[in-house]
Structures are given as structure tokens and as C-alpha cells.
Amino acid sequence: MTEVAPGSWMVRDVTYPGNRGWGAIRQDRGRAIMKTAILIPAL
């Protein structure tokens, strides 16, 4: 994962089991917290 400042937001490609999408990620104390995600079925 790209290093970002704690508390900052970034948008990145997110991979779920069976699904891929884009989501806003917030770095918080070393953890990536998903705020929103639009999942797109992998075609």
C-alpha cells in the first residue's frame, strides 16, 4: 500500500474476495479504514 500521512484520505483500487472496486481509504494508526467503496464485478 502507498504510504500516506495518518488521517489523510486517498482513493485506490480495492480488492475484495471475488470483487474489485474503488474506495476512499483513510490511514489511521497504521490501519487502512474503508469509508466508501463502489464494487465492480471482475469481468
User: Residue 43's pLDDT is what?
Assistant: 46
User: Residue 39's pLDDT is what?
Assistant: 54
User: Residue 23's pLDDT is what?
Assistant: 53
Task: Name the residue ranges covered by the structural domains of the chain.
Answer: 9-41
What confidence tens digit (pLDDT) does each residue in 1-43 have?
Answer: 555 555 555 555 555 555 555 555 555 555 555 555 555 555 4
The four Cα atoms 28, 1, 17, 29 give a dihedral, to 10 degrees, of -10
Output helix, strand, coil percentages for the chain, rounded to the nearest 5: 0, 65, 35
